[in-house]
Structure 1
Amino acid sequence: MAKIVQLPARALFAYAVNPTARFLLRLGVTPNAVTIAGTVGVLIGSYFGAKGHLFWGTWIITACALTDVLDGTMARMRGAPGKFGALLDSSLDRIADGATFGAVVWYMIDQGNPYGGTIAALVSLGAGQVVSYVKARAQSLGLNADVGIAERLERLVILGVFALIGSAGVDWALPAGLWVLAALSVVTIFQRLIAGARSDRENLAAPQ
């Protein structure tokens, strides 16, 4: 099944990020610094969201989450040796995701759990972590599970769009988006497990 955000859109976004990446590198900013700054920004945005400032929290989180593309672009341009940057990026992504959905859970509880949004947020948080884990674990085993309808970028886009609609006073929007996100995340888990199983069979069938 195709990704929600198709490759042309991703390529267009990367093209827009390239000038910023070059500018920051000329200033001497490192990819790891951008990764850390983006995570701090997400934590700040999560605080705003949890306190009920859904509009500003969503914009801050979205803007800072986009640094996940920026730091990777900078690393490729810089040609930095070593793998610590990738480890740091993946680790801080999990922290950022936990803070984001933790804030959503807090907000949903504060709003009286409309339409079961708290449960949907918890499912989205747990399933999102498993989505990332399955891919990483498959790679460590030499398997290919890089598939799925809702990767991290797609999940952030869905959450951001529905949160902004909710901030405009549409009370069902955020819970609805969370249920959509929960369902797509669970589907993605199964897609990756199936892809991993297929990859394992192909490896076993390949001539040694």
Structure 2
Amino acid sequence: MNLPNLITLSRIPLMFVIVGLMYCEWLGAASLAFWLFIACAIGDGLDGYLARRLGLVSNFGKLMDALTDKIMVIGLVIAFVDKHEIPVPLALITLCREFIITGMRMVAASKGVIVAADKGGKSKTATQLIALGFLLGAPMVAQDWAYFWPQDLSVFTEWVQKIGLFGFIVGTFLAVWSGGRYISRYRGVFFDGANE
């Protein structure tokens, strides 16, 4: 197990920590959740950079990098749905897309084909992560910043929340678009022998 893969896999337990902190009410919990999320986002870029820099690029790393992104997004989306901050239909579209593409990746891998994330998939993931960052930032402002800030931050909090939701809507459209691109590009691999 090399350093890039350790950074990649660390995002899975950190997702559980972040979600747990989302339900804590003590001062600083929301800020800790937000900054751990930022650390995960930085790690998402750092693991690939280190793998290329150190010559440690592997099929395992490519697959797990994409998979841990999905685990992070799905875990947070479920928590935000539970907290009534992301509409259920958007969450269902996101979940369906991720399971379909992950299943297709597994089919491709069984045939010796590695389906790495393309620019469309990376744009989708980046948009979703930025949106989730804003959604995590809203309670940080409302709970932690407001504790020390003498003025009312409710309007600012509302705008941070709205930006996060709008970003997630955009990310949902990108998820559908990039998913269609994967299916179109690799349909020969995915559906070869499907009617046998």
* Range class of TM-score, shorter chain: 0.5 to 0.7
1:181 paired to 2:168: yes
| 8 Å CA contact 2:124, 2:174 repeated in 1 | no
2:177 is aligned to: 190
Decide whether aligned partners of structure 1 residues 132 and 72 sit closer, same or farther in structure 2, where only a CA change above 3 A counts.
farther
1:86 paired to 2:86: no
Matches within 5 A, 1:1-40: 30-40=3-13
Decide whether aligned partners of structure 1 residues 97 and 118 sit closer, same or farther in structure 2, where only a CA change above 3 A counts.
same
What's the secondary structure of 2:56's corresponding residue?
coil
1:119 is aligned to: 88
After superposition, the C-alpha distances for 1:78-132 in whole angstroms (9 at most, x for unaligned) are 21264222222223222222222222223x2xxxx36xx3426624642662695
Decide whether aligned partners of structure 1 residues 104 and 81 sit closer, same or farther in structure 2, where only a CA change above 3 A counts.
closer
1:65 is aligned to: 41
What's the secondary structure of 1:80's corresponding residue?
coil
- The separation in 1 between residues aligned to 2:141 and 2:2, in whole angstroms, is 37
**How many residues of Structure 1 are paired with residues of Structure 2 in the alignment?**
167
Match of 1:146 among 104, 115, 118: 118
Decide whether aligned partners of structure 1 residues 143 and 154 sit closer, same or farther in structure 2, where only a CA change above 3 A counts.
same
Q: CA deviation at 1:38?
A: 2.8
Decide whether aligned partners of structure 1 residues 189 and 88 sit closer, same or farther in structure 2, where only a CA change above 3 A counts.
same
What's the secondary structure of 1:167's corresponding residue?
helix
| 8 Å CA contact 1:46, 1:100 repeated in 2 | yes
How high is the TM-score relative to the length of structure 2?
Answer: 0.62
1:76 paired to 2:63: no
Structure 1: gaps (5+ residues): 1-27, 201-208
How high is the TM-score relative to the length of structure 1?
Answer: 0.59
Decide whether aligned partners of structure 1 residues 65 and 124 sit closer, same or farther in structure 2, where only a CA change above 3 A counts.
farther
CA RMSD in angstroms, aligned pairs only: 3.9
Decide whether aligned partners of structure 1 residues 136 and 174 sit closer, same or farther in structure 2, where only a CA change above 3 A counts.
farther
| 8 Å CA contact 1:42, 1:99 repeated in 2 | yes
What's the secondary structure of 1:168's corresponding residue?
helix
Q: CA deviation at 1:176?
A: 5.5
1:20 is aligned to: none
Q: CA deviation at 1:67?
A: 0.9
After superposition, the C-alpha distances for 1:21-72 in whole angstroms (9 at most, x for unaligned) are xxxxxxx962111112232222211211133543321221221232111111
